Structures are given as structure tokens and as C-alpha cells.
Homo-oligomer: A and B are copies of this chain.
Amino acid sequence: MPVNLSLPAAAVVPGVSLSTCAAGIKANGSDDMVLFSITPGSTTVGVFTQNTFCAAPVTVCKSHLEEQKQGDIRALLVNSGNANAGTGQPGIEAAKQHCAALAEQLDCDLNQVLPYSTGVIGEQLPNAKMLSALPGLVKNLDDSLPAWEHAARGIMTTDTVPKLTSKTVTIDGQVLTITGMSKGAGMIEPNMATMLAYVFTDAKIPKNDLNEALKISVHKSFNSITVDSDTSTNDACMLTATGVGATLSAEHSQWGDFQNALDEVLLLLAQAIVRDAEGATKFITAEINGGASVEDCRAIGYAIANSPLVKTAMFASDANVGRLLMAIGKVGLAKLDPYQVNVSVNGLAVFENGLLHPDYSEHKGGAVMQADDITVAVDLGMGKHAASIYTSDLSHDYVTINAEYRT
């Protein structure tokens, strides 16, 4: 069960139609292929995993995006159940073959189709099954809201719920929609990338501006979450502006409104991944203030968020101040003065002036820790920068899920 996960309702984005099917990649027969079809003249940008063992579809995606200089992508083809990673040259060939078959059926160029995979690493894709599923996917393309909801389920692996949400922003009196979906519950510490996320808007936006907006939003959302410190081989976050709606660019006086709305959608989708993380019973925000730089704040935030000792204490609803201090200290920030550091948990001051706060008691700590959403606020006393990192706890279910993933 996800932790306090309720996303604002989703709406369709004009210019996108979708279809989803069960091609037999997942052994349990649930949906495992999703096709996003995008209207001609749109602009698509993306960010990808930095993992050296990046999956075959990531390699193909990046090369197609580079070739297709206008970003006029016509289709995103996603399969779940198999990551097509660690599959060498045959994996690359398979991804290209699917793109080629789809390009023919959609009457577009090969490099206008982008492939994505997520699931088990190290196994070749079931090519025949996937190729034979394509005509059905093309035939069933649909631009209704249920098609979006269906797609958000089709990209899931160990997720327990689909993650789909929207935000609107009014530009020059015209309502624009931003709708996104994400998946992922484990192997989550995106590095300048994310798990699979697909975000669409009907705005018409120049490619460079769209790219810049995506990078800004991803930094504060998908690149600020961790479940288990492990960076997937398949992470991708895509943003498509279909161009059906209002025209917008970074020069526009309301560009900030668009960026804010995009930030909000991506943050909700990234947090949704953490709320639905493998075995999660708590949603934890490490909110770091008073840093000499954003990088320092992020390093401290990740040290807290990735510490198995902090995460098991959270699972036990234990306000374990010692482990929080340990995590802050292990980063080794050169000028950090322990006597200047303040720590609070859900508003309860726990550490101040190098000591437990005089009003703190384990009883009070235990009381605030009963909440499902926990914010550990740290003031480093070094400067004016801040960052927040989001994570889940480390529970028995996390071990069970990951020790039994393939058995």
C-alpha cells in the first residue's frame, strides 16, 4: 500500500493518443506494452540514466533523438517485464527492429519512434510476441482519459498503483494541460535522469526551451528521490509538447507559470514513486537548509535518505537522533560545525548546539514519529542554500520483495 498517495485528477492532452495491451512479456498476463502516438509537428525532449550499463533502448532512444533534430517524435513504445539491459548487440537490434516495424505501420521515419523497456535485466526481449502485438496497438489508439489510465498501468512493474496526474496553466487566456505518468518502486536513485516518466503538454514550445524546462524540473523532482540508492539501467523521463495549444517560449512573460506547473507535475510523480516504493511504510522528506551550496544540501539529504540505519529506525517509528547525526556527519563537509547544526523531526526540535534539545524526550520523539509522512529538517548553519530529498523507509517487505523478485 502506498503511503498517503493521492494525486490530482488527470486530464487528456490534445495531440496524444494511446493504447495498451498484454503481449505476454509478463508471465502473469497483465498489460506489458504501451504505445503513445503523438501528432506531427510536436516537440519531444528527454533525460536518461547515467548508468554505464544503460539499456539497449536508452542507447537507441538517444541516437534517434539526436538524429531527429526538430524533436518531431511520432511514437513512444514502452514494454514492461523485461528491461532489455545487459543484452549486448542483440538487444540493440531488437529495439531497432521494433521501431522500424512501428514506423512502417505509422508511416513515419525510424528515428521518429523511441523505444523504452523496464523489468528484469539480462534477458533478451521476446521479439516475436512484441512484433505481433504492434498492429493491435496501432489499431486501438485512443485519445480518451481511460486510455491514459490504462497506459499508466501498462508501464508498471513492482508498482502497486498507477501514477498519473495533471496540472493546468492559463497562458494568454488559453488553458494548457500538463499530464504525466511515472513508474518505479525499486532501483531508484535517478542520476540526472529518472525511472520511466512520460509527460505531455499541448503547448507549442521551442525545443531548447522545452529541454531547459525539463532539466530544471527533473533536478528538483526525479533527481531528488531515492528508494535504495540504486540507479537503474533504464531510467528515462520524456516531455512532449504537442503544439496543439497555445504557443509559449522562455521569452514569454508567463513562462514562469509554465515552469512552476511542470515542476509541480514532476514533483508529484517523483514523490508518487517514493510513496509507492517497495515495502514503504513512511514517506520521508530530508529538508536541508542553511547550506553553503545546493550540492552540500543534496549530499546531506541523500546521506540521510540512503542510510539503512536511518531507514530502519523510520520503519520502527524511532526518532533516532544518533543515526541522523551519524548520517549528516559521514558526508564529511569540510566546514560543518556540529555546534551550529539544528535538527527537527515533524517540527519537534531534537538537536541544537551540539546536544539533544533540552526540551526533547524520547516520548515526544516517538509521538511525532507515528505520522506516515516524516520531515527531517536540518539547518546546517553554513549559508543560505536549501534542498529537499525524498525517500521511503527500509522495512521487512523491502527485503521480502527484493529477495523473492524472481522466485
Contacts and interface: CB of A to CB of B under 8 A. Distances in A.
Contacts of A318: 403, 405-407
Interface string A293-331: 000000000000011110011011010111101111111
Interface residues of A, number: 68
Interface in A150-174: none
A356 interface: yes
B355 A85 contact: no
Contacts of A399: 312, 315, 394-396, 398-399
A339 B233 CA distance: 15
B88 A398 contact: no
Contacts of A403: 312-313, 315-316, 318
Given A326-B53, A403-B318, A309 B351 contact: no
A222 to B, nearest CB: 15
Contacts of A50: 330, 332
A315 B316 CA distance: 22
A244 interface: no
- Complex copy number for this chain: 2
Contact of A309 (B85, B122, B228, B339): B228
Identify whether the interface residues of A are mostly helix, strand, loop, or mixed.
loop
Contact of A332 (B52, B229, B329, B332): B52
A249 interface: no
A83 interface: yes
Given A233-B322, A315-B399, 19 more contacts: A52-B328, A52-B332, A52-B336, A53-B326, A86-B322, A86-B351, A89-B354, A121-B325, A122-B321, A187-B326, A228-B307, A230-B307, A230-B323, A231-B330, A233-B329, A308-B402, A313-B402, A316-B404, A316-B407
